[in-house]
Amino acid sequence: MSPRKRKLKSASLVILTVLLIFQGCIKYQTVSNSDLSISAGFVCGWGSGMDSISITRNLITYRYWIPATSPAPVIDKARPVTESEWKEILSYVNFSEFLNLDYQSCNVCVDGCDEWILIQNDNISHKITYDKGLEIKAISSLQAKLASIRAEFAR
């Protein structure tokens, strides 16, 4: 093989390697402890009810309201997050896997109900919407944890 072909082959391998590394960085995002936030909730048509929960490293906020009766939340609570609870929540988040989920239901569009989850990490975010009550195997542990936190606030 000529020296020129070897240089071209080497350059091609370097470029390919850099592209593969770059692609891996995009596809497999790691979860940053400080910049992650999780929001979730449900919404039902005809203004019959909606809730939202927002979780960050330091705080959980929960709101429930019935838009048809009042613009103000019926429940509006918040509490701090302990370090051990934060670690537990993070253990349920596989951000790379979550980014690949493609659920975009719109039952609320025809007066039904949808649940949603939005995860933000640094400047990357992804939101899914799905039939209320649907268990998604890839995130079932996260769904269960979010449901238990919501139940705590709804009491």
32-89: per-residue pLDDT in tens?
556 899 999 999 998 888 999 999 999 999 999 988 887 778 899 999 999 999 999 9
The residue ranking higher by pLDDT, 71 or 29, is 71
The predicted structure's pLDDT at residue 4: 52
The predicted structure's pLDDT at residue 46: 85
Contacting residues for 153 by C-beta, under 8 A, at least 6 apart: 53, 60, 62, 64, 75, 77
Is the per-residue pLDDT at 28 higher than 50? no
User: Whole-angstrom distance between the N-terminal and C-terminal Cα of the chain?
Assistant: 75
CA distance 87 to 55: 12
94-114: per-residue pLDDT in tens?
999 999 999 999 999 999 999
Is the per-residue pLDDT at 26 higher than 50? no
Q: What is the DSSP string of 20-32?
A: HHHHHHHHSPPPP
The predicted structure's pLDDT at residue 98: 97
pTM, to two decimals: 0.77
